[in-house]
C-alpha cells in the first residue's frame, strides 16, 4: 500500500490500516492498570471473549504468548454465547466489542451481572455504551473510529491492551514496543510480487495455515470481508492431515511463519500431491516463495497480521472490489437492541 498512489487513496480501509503505525507508537501499557483493583478478588483465570475480529487475534495471541510463561491468571477464550454455558464465578471476564453494542457480549455480561459477578472488564472503541454500563472497569481505545467494515487498526490496539493486561496481572513488564511501529510500517507498505497477487486472486479458495495464535485465523476472516473470496484456516499442520483430499490445484495456501521441520511434508502433500501453489509470510526465507517481513521478536504476530492485510488489499484491488463496502457484512455483526 502507498497512499501516494491514487488506487489506494479512495479507501478508508487503506488509511485505517496505515494508521496502525501511530496506534502502536502512541500506545501506553499503563492503560491496563484499570484491572488492578479486580485482580485480588480470588479469580484463577481470565476469559477473553467477544465476536469475530474483537476476539480472534487479541485473545489467541495473548493465550499463545502466555503459554511460554506462568501467568497469574490462566487465560482462555470462547465466544460469548457458548460462554453462557460455563461457570465463570472464578474467572475475570474481559469482553471486547468495538461498538460496545455486540448482542452476544451484552447478553453474557447481563447474565453475569445478575449473578453478582464483580470482575467484568469492557474493551470498546466508544464511551458510554451498553457494554460499559455493565462493567466494573472499561477501557476505551484511542485509535478512533473505523469507516471500513473490516476492523484493522482497532484489532491491533485491542491486542496490545490484552497483552498489557496480562502483563499487569502477572506483575511483569510488557515486551518493549520499540521499533514495532517501523516494522509494521514496512509490512504494510512493501511491494508484493504479482505472481502471489494474481494466483491468490484467481484461487477458488484461499487457505491460511499457521499457529493457533490468531494471525492465520484472523486473515481468513479478513479474506471474506476484504476480497469476498472463500477462505479457510488450517491450524498447525492440519493442511497435511486429510483436507488435501478436497483441495483443488487452483487453490492457494499461504503459510504464516511455517514450522521449518514441516516444510518438506507441506511441499510433498500440497505442491506435489494437489498441484496447488504454496506461499509464505515470514521473517525468514522458506522453501516456498516468501513475503519476507521484519523480525519483530515477541511482536512478530502483529507484523505478520499487517503483512497479510497488505496482501488482501492488493488482491481486492486486483479483483476490482470496493474495499470498504461488502454487500452483506455489517460493521456491527449482531447489534444489541434494548427491550
Helix axes 194-202, 300-318, angle to 10 degrees: 70
Which parts of the chain sit beneath pLDDT 70? Answer: 328-337, 339
- Angle at CA of residue 152, ends 147 and 157, nearest 5°: 115
Residue 333: predicted pLDDT: 67
Q: Is 234 exposed, middle or buried (0-12, 13-18, 19+ CB in 10 A)?
A: buried
Residue 61: predicted pLDDT: 97
Residue 73: predicted pLDDT: 84
Report which of 164, 167, 128 is spatially closest to residue 29, judged by C-alpha positions.
164
Residue 41: predicted pLDDT: 84
Distance CA 65, CA 62 (A): 5
Q: How far is CA 33 from CA 46, 47, 129, 169, in A?
A: 16, 18, 21, 9
Report which of 264, 215, 204 is spatially closest to residue 240, judged by C-alpha positions.
264
Residues 6+ apart with CB under 8 A from 216: 208, 209, 210, 233, 234, 235, 256
Q: Which residue is it, cell 494466483?
A: 199
The answer to whether 215 and 57 are in contact (CB under 8 A) is yes
Residue 297: predicted pLDDT: 96
Residue 169: predicted pLDDT: 87
Residue 302: predicted pLDDT: 98
SS3 130: helix
Residue 339: predicted pLDDT: 65
Walk me through the domains of the chain, giving residue ranges and CATH numbers: 28-170 (3.40.50.10490), 180-318 (3.40.50.10490)
Residue 21: predicted pLDDT: 98
pTM, rounded to two decimals: 0.95
Residue 40: predicted pLDDT: 78
Amino acid at each position: 500500500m502507498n497512499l501516494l498512489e491514487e488506487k489506494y487513496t479512495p479507501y478508508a480501509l487503506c488509511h485505517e490500516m496505515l494508521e496502525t503505525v501511530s496506534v502502536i507508537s502512541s500506545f501506553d501499557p499503563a492503560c491496563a492498570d484499570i484491572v488492578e483493583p479486580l485482580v485480588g478478588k480470588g479469580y484463577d483465570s481470565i476469559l477473553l471473549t467477544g465476536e469475530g475480529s474483537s476476539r480472534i487475534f487479541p485473545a489467541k495471541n495473548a493465550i499463545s504468548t502466555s503459554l511460554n510463561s506462568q501467568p497469574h491468571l490462566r487465560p482462555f477464550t470462547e465466544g460469548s454465547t457458548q460462554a453462557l454455558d460455563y461457570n465463570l464465578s472464578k474467572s475475570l471476564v474481559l469482553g471486547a466489542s468495538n461498538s460496545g453494542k455486540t448482542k452476544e457480549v451484552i447478553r453474557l455480561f447481563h447474565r453475569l451481572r445478575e449473578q453478582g459477578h464483580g470482575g467484568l472488564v469492557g474493551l470498546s472503541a466508544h464511551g458510554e455504551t451498553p457494554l460499559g454500563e455493565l462493567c466494573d472497569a472499561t477501557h476505551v481505545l484511542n485509535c478512533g473510529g473505523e469507516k471500513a467494515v473490516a476492523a484493522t487498526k482497532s484489532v491491533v490496539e485491542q491486542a496490545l491492551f490484552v497483552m498489557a493486561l496480562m502483563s499487569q496481572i502477572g506483575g511483569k513488564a510488557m515486551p518493549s514496543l520499540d521499533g514495532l511501529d517501523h516494522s509494521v510500517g514496512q509490512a504494510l507498505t512493501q511491494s508484493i510480487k504479482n505472481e502471489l497477487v494474481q494466483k491468490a486472486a484467481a484461487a477458488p479458495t484461499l487457505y491460511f495455515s499457521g499457529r493457533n495464535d490468531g494471525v492465520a485465523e484472523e486473515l481468513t476472516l479478513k479474506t471474506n470481508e476484504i476480497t469476498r473470496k472463500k477462505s479457510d484456516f488450517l491450524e498447525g499442520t492440519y493442511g497435511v492431515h486429510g483436507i488435501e483430499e478436497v483441495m483443488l490445484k487452483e487453490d492457494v495456501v499461504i503459510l504464516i511463519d511455517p514450522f521449518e521441520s514441516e516444510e518438506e511434508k507441506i511441499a510433498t502433500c500440497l505442491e506435489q500431491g494437489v498441484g496447488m501453489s504454496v506461499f509464505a509470510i515470514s521473517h525468514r526465507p522458506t522453501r516456498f516463495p516468501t513475503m519476507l517481513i521484519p523480525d519483530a521478536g515477541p511482536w512478530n504476530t502483529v507484523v505478520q497480521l499487517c503483512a497479510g492485510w497488505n496482501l488482501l488489499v492488493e488482491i481486492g484491488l486486483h479483483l476490482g472490489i470496493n474495499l470498504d463496502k461488502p454487500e452483506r457484512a455489517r460493521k456491527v455483526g449482531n447489534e444489541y437492541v434494548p427491550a
